[in-house]
């Protein structure tokens, strides 16, 4: 993030104080004053440099406008219209063609068919046979069609995970998340298909890793980890055997564990050599791995995964792409089970890119944890509950809590 918003800017630049609506805040801004006393906002001291998406949401929840320090020269450029509005250009967001519940049945068939195809790919490679690349393309094309209809349907399905299908489902989820990410950034249909294949085939090299290492229920030894890292080279070698496979798909399998600071593997390449698609797949790969359960660990909540991604921006991950991914996923991704402050329970239907703490939620349990007819509310609308207080999420909870299994609501 540029230091244009920081009070620690170049000593030769002149800082001015500017009043901004809280909806216009960005990470890196230094807030000097509020539209209310600092004591009414949950911060430790007066003055705040916005460092996380949570800081933005907190200020939006409490303030209509704030004052920030900004370089005078940069502010004048904005006032003259010479600086692009970053959020509108870089984060166009989703456009839903049809309702999520209309798309879910087709999305479920698409997901199951694509998972079977990934299973076939990995089994074929493991047994030394060739796999059907055209079938993989068709599977990804179906995923693209579903995401263009309503991205939240397949995103919801990525929350339903089975440990015994981890490698295949992980590869598919990375493909789906990558397509959704590209859709969020307004990629065209051809690029979405290419990006989806980059994601779905990024781990084909793992089919050559011994099962006792790949599925070891514990931390790998140094020697075992060195063997595991070979999957990046294996993936490249496997895909080079197929005619017509785009170079970018091969490069993604080879380089998806490289880092923007040049400290990744297998070649410690400079960030300038990492295509945008590789950097995108790297983000969604780590996100899905952190949020997935394995024999040796429970999956972490999405919020924890996003904190890790955010802390690694500029080091492991591309800074701007991490911020875009966080806006896409939201603190509570589609398919997340949540408990409201009034005790009611719901399932997140879709994230609101402009307010990550206030998604659309389908309420499924009453406050006393009894089944109720599903009812969708948009938390941005401030809809009141029976007590007259607006619905607010208390916390995300593990799927299965209070007997609610998200997959039971997929085809309702």
Decide: 189 and 241 in contact? Cβ < 8 Å: no
| Residue-level pLDDT at 219 | 85
In a domain, 172, yes or no: yes
Q: Are residues 180 and 247 in the same domain?
A: yes
Q: Is the dihedral of CA 153, 158, 164, 165 positive or negative?
A: positive
In a domain, 233, yes or no: yes
Q: Are residues 255 and 111 in the same domain?
A: yes
Strands 345-350 and 360-365: antiparallel
| Residue-level pLDDT at 75 | 58
Give, for all 412 residues of the chain, the pLDDT tens digit. Answer: 344 444 444 444 577 777 777 767 777 788 888 888 887 788 777 788 888 777 887 887 787 778 888 776 655 554 444 444 444 434 556 777 888 888 989 999 999 999 999 999 999 999 999 999 999 999 999 999 999 999 989 998 888 777 667 888 999 999 999 999 999 999 999 999 999 999 999 999 999 999 899 888 888 899 999 999 999 999 999 999 998 899 999 999 999 999 999 999 999 988 878 899 999 999 999 999 998 877 667 778 787 888 899 999 999 999 989 989 988 887 788 888 899 999 999 999 887 766 777 889 999 999 999 999 988 999 988 899 989 999 999 888 888 889 998 888 765 5
Decide: 141 and 158 in contact? Cβ < 8 Å: no
Q: Which residues pair with residue 375 across a beta bridge?
A: 363
Q: How far apart are CA 242 and CA 133, in angstroms?
A: 8
Q: Is the dihedral of CA 95, 100, 106, 111 positive or negative?
A: positive
In a domain, 89, yes or no: no
Helices marked H in 201-246: 211-214, 222-229, 231-240
| Residue-level pLDDT at 412 | 58
Quote the number of domains for the chain. 3
CATH number of the domain within which 221 lies:
1.10.3210.10
Task: Count how many residues are written for the chain.
Answer: 412
Decide: 71 and 15 in contact? Cβ < 8 Å: yes
Q: Are residues 232 and 189 in the same domain?
A: yes
In a domain, 15, yes or no: yes
Decide: 195 and 277 in contact? Cβ < 8 Å: yes
Q: What angle do CA 352, 363, 291 make, to 5 degrees?
A: 60
Q: Are residues 294 and 355 in the same domain?
A: no
In a domain, 90, yes or no: no
**One-character DSSP codes across 274-326:** S-HHHHHHHHHHHHHHHHS-BTTBPPPPHHHHHHHHHHTBTTTB-HHHHHHHH
Q: Are residues 181 and 215 in the same domain?
A: yes
Q: Are residues 132 and 269 in the same domain?
A: yes
Return the SS3 of 19: strand
**One-character DSSP codes across 241-281:** TSTT--HHHHHHHHHTT--TTS--SSS---GGGS-HHHHHH
Q: Are residues 175 and 228 in the same domain?
A: yes
Q: What is the 3-state secondary structure (H, E, C) of 62-90?
A: HCCEEEEEEEHHHHHHHHCCCCCCHHHHH
Q: How far apart are CA 288 and CA 297, in angstroms?
A: 13
Domain boundary at 297, 329, 361, which? 329
Q: Are residues 117 and 178 in the same domain?
A: yes
Containing structural domain, residue 376: 337-409
| Residue-level pLDDT at 352 | 78
Q: Are residues 13 and 75 in the same domain?
A: yes
In a domain, 248, yes or no: yes
Q: Are residues 270 and 308 in the same domain?
A: yes
Q: Are residues 160 and 219 in the same domain?
A: yes
Domain boundary at 27, 57, 83, which? 83
Q: How far apart are CA 177 and CA 147, in angstroms?
A: 10
Q: How far apart are CA 74 and CA 91, in angstroms?
A: 22
In a domain, 94, yes or no: no
Domain boundary at 54, 83, 112, which? 83
Burial classification of residue 131, based on how many CB atoms lie within 10 Å of its CB (0-12 exposed, 13-18 middle, 19 or more buried): buried
Q: Is the dihedral of CA 162, 163, 164, 169 positive or negative?
A: positive
In a domain, 361, yes or no: yes
Q: Is the pTM of this model over 0.85?
A: no
Q: Are residues 110 and 235 in the same domain?
A: yes
């Amino acid at each position: 993030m540029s230091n244009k918003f920081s009070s620690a800017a170049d000593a030769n630049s002149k800082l001015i104080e500017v009043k901004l609506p809280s909806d216009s805040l960005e990470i890196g801004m230094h807030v000097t004053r509020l539209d209310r006393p600092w004591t009414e906002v949950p911060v430790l001291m007066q003055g705040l440099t916005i460092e996380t998406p949570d800081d933005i949401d907190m200020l939006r929840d409490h303030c209509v406008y704030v004052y920030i320090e900004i370089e005078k020269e940069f502010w004048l450029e904005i006032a003259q219209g010479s600086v692009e509005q970053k959020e509108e250009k870089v984060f166009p967001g989703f456009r839903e063609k049809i309702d999520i519940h209309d798309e879910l049945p087709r999305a479920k068939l698409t997901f199951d068919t694509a998972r079977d195809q990934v299973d076939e790919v990995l089994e074929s490679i493991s047994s030394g046979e060739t796999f059907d690349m055209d079938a993989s393309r068709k599977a990804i094309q179906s995923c693209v069609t579903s995401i263009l209809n309503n991205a939240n349907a397949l995103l919801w399905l990525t929350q339903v995970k089975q440990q015994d299908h981890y490698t295949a489902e992980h590869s598919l989820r990375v493909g789906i998340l990558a397509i959704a990410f590209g859709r969020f950034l307004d990629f065209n249909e051809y690029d979405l298909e290419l990006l989806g294949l980059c994601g779905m085939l990024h781990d084909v090299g793992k089919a050559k890793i011994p099962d006792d290492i790949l599925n070891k229920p514990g931390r790998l030894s140094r020697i075992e980890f060195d063997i595991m890292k070979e999957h990046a080279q294996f993936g490249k070698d496997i895909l080079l055997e197929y005619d017509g496979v785009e170079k970018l798909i091969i490069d993604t399998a080879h380089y998806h564990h490289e880092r923007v600071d040049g400290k990744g593997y297998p070649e410690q390449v400079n960030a300038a050599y990492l295509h945008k698609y590789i950097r995108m797949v790297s983000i969604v790969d780590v996100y899905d791995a952190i949020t997935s359960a394995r024999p040796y660990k429970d999956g972490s909540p999405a919020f924890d995964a996003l904190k890790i991604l955010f802390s690694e921006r500029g080091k492991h991950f591309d800074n701007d792409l991490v911020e875009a991914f966080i806006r896409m996923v939201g603190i509570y991704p589609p398919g997340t089970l949540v408990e409201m402050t009034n005790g009611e329970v719901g399932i997140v239907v879709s994230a609101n890119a402009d307010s990550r703490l206030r998604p659309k939620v389908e309420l499924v349990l009453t406050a006393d944890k009894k089944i109720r007819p599903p009812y969708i509310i948009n938390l941005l609308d401030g809809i009141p509950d029976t007590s007259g207080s607006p619905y607010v999420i208390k916390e995300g909870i593990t799927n299965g809590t209070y007997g609610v299994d998200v997959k039971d609501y997929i085809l309702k």
